[in-house]
Structure 1
């Protein structure tokens, strides 16, 4: 097989020198050859652009995975009076960031913390289309089961079997927690993560300005609430590590 490939390459003019005579001839022919790039034609910006990672293509599976994760959270918590859009999003955010999970989200720096408004509209629409849950804004119970509630389970086992225990722990920890408290912890987590990404040393003193600088909405939280929440997160191991 190798001989056939060598013969083909030689026939096309791509053969390599093998014998001492061929090597000597090669060196003689290319004795004065020198390759030089033209610096005036090198564009550093084009080089950087060419090596930048291409945007990740978002597929239907990506959308389905995040819907299935949301369905599991809602399946567990829909009877809790505190579950609504904000709490659901914070739990998705914490699941994504505290477990080895690849789902597509675009959490923005919103007043209520990291929040993705398109995500909620998409999830609510998919819930209804799959007949899993319906979101009722004016009801005290926001998510109501539909005819095929629980139908996400097969997909959940397929997508999140490795993270199942960690997700369940998060669900149980936040099960009865007020939305404002979940919002507080979610925002602290995001600020903490920023500090790590900026390669700064974490401390309460470095986090507090980031927290209050997030939005004017955060002024409703007292400094003691922030400190107590950080201590709680340390006790539970619920914080970013880089």
Structure 2
């Protein structure tokens, strides 16, 4: 349905809206809503303001952005509240009393602009925080619906969160973001070449160190590279508990192989991941896209090279291709399965794709 509003030429001329005009509410059901203001940030051709509001046109050179804040002080609102009249159902401030209201402002336009910029930045930050809060409320509401209706059941984890034999099992904490980011990784890589528990852990190692995310990890040297079985067991238990990821376990040639497949409930983790700062998500997703093109061998080589390279940076030791290869082959006898040309190829790839460590985190020297 459309409505057409018309106005006479005189009305259009006398009630026009120009950039910098400030409009006020002269009446409201509550006195604290009197004299609320808004500023026209541009000229509006063929537009008339309503008789329900007051227009204040300033002819002094006052910063445009500052005009949006200059009438929002508590002292100005208090004056308006005292000056308005009403019976409890409707309050009104007359034009004559409105003209008697006083506001103070700095005469220096640069100071006006600086004040307005600070207040505007704070408003933007508050808006972002409120948007995040609203998103979390939606996520909580959805989770409550599924939990309280039995769509999700909090079954006892089938795997221990941290093995009892782990020395620091009682004091170690695995952050929530470990579960969230791991779910995102599974959702992105579960169809990639060489997918399974080993590639998942190599990806977690690279993402955690390269994007500087605290996963509560404590890596040790193991055959295939940096290894933290306590963290992986914790992740497995969370996936089984909340059913975001299905874990398939198979026996092949005497070895146990794990496959991680996202379920329809993975969207719950993705919604939480979307609340992370854009800079973090960009860094994580950029690295994941590079790992997606790697097979298991490449992921293992890159993860191990990253670890030995990172160790040298932290310890302040010299770095060269020969030294990195020496550390790579000293990692375990299993590394002899890879030729020097293959390892150098991956090292060059790391430099080309800027998968280069910056010495963040604890170095891995446990065996």
Q: CA deviation at 1:159?
A: 4.3
1:136 counterpart (248, 251, 254): 248
Q: Are the aligned partners of 2:301 and 2:343 in contact in 1 as well (CA < 8 Å)?
A: yes
Q: Distance in 2 between matches of 1:175 and 1:125?
A: 25
Structure 1 CA distance for aligned equivalents of residues 358 and 317 of structure 2? 12
Does the Cα contact within 8 Å between 1:135 and 1:143 map onto a contact in 2? yes
Deviation at 1:171, TM superposition (A): 1.3
The residue number in structure 1 matching 2:144 is: none
Alpha-carbon distance change, 223 to 213 in structure 1, aligned in 2, over 3 angstroms: same
| Counterpart residue number, 1:66 | 178
How far apart are residue 90 of structure 1 and its match?
A: 1.0
Please list, as runs of the form range in 1=range in 2, the aligned pairs for 1:20-35 lying within 5 A after superposition: none
Question: In the TM superposition, what is the alpha-carbon distance from 1:108 to its structure 2 partner?
Answer: 1.0
In structure 2, stretches of 5+ residues that fail to align are 1-170, 252-256, 360-367
Aligned to 1:115: 227
Aligned residue number for residue 240 of structure 1 = 357
Shift of 1:147: 4.6
TM-score by length of 2: 0.47
Structure with greater strand percent: 2
Choose the corresponding residue for 1:105, options 193, 217, 227. 217
* Residue in structure 2 matching 1:154, options 249, 260, 271: 271
2:185–2:288 Cα contact (<8 Å) kept: yes
Aligned to 2:275, what secondary structure does the other structure show? helix
Cα contact 2:192–2:295 (8 A) shared by 1: no
- Give CA-to-partner distance per residue, 1:10-61, whole Å, 9 cap, x none: xxxxxxxxxxxxxxxxxxxxxxxxxxxxxxxxxxxxxxxxxxxxxxx654xx
Q: How many residues are matched?
A: 184
Corresponding residue for 1:219? 336
Deviation at 1:81, TM superposition (A): 4.5
Post-superposition CA distance 1:157-209 (Å, at most 9, x none): 33464310111111111113111110000000101111112212210111122
The 1-side partners of 2:307 and 2:345 are apart by: 17
Task: Give the alignment partner of residue 175 of structure 1, picking from 275, 292, 296.
Answer: 292
Q: Deviations over 1:123-179 (max 9, x none)?
A: 111112111111112299922333522210232133464310111111111113111
| 4+ runs deviating over 6 angstroms | none
Q: CA deviation at 1:70?
A: 0.5
Query: Which residue pairs with 2:301 in the alignment?
Result: 184
Q: Distance in 2 between matches of 1:160 and 1:76?
A: 19
Structure 1 residue 228: Cα displacement: 1.0
Q: Over alpha carbons, which structure has the higher Rg?
A: 2
Name the CA distance, whole Å, in 2 between partners of 1:183 and 1:203: 20
Higher relative contact order (CA 8 A, sep 6+): 1
Greater shift, 89-98 or 77-86, is seen at 77-86
Who is 2:14 aligned against?
Answer: none
Distance of 1:135 and 1:156 partners within structure 2: 21
- What 5-or-longer segments of structure 1 have no aligned partner? 1-56
TM-score, structure 1 as length reference: 0.70
The answer on 1:126 being equivalent to 2:238 is yes
SS of aligned partner of 2:246: strand
CA contact (8 A) 1:69 1:156 kept: yes
Match status 1:86 vs 2:171: no
C-alpha displacement of 1:102: 2.3
Give the structure with the larger helix fraction: 1
Distance 1:144 1:205, change over 3 A: closer
Quick check: 2:187–2:261 contact (8 Å CA) kept in 1?
no
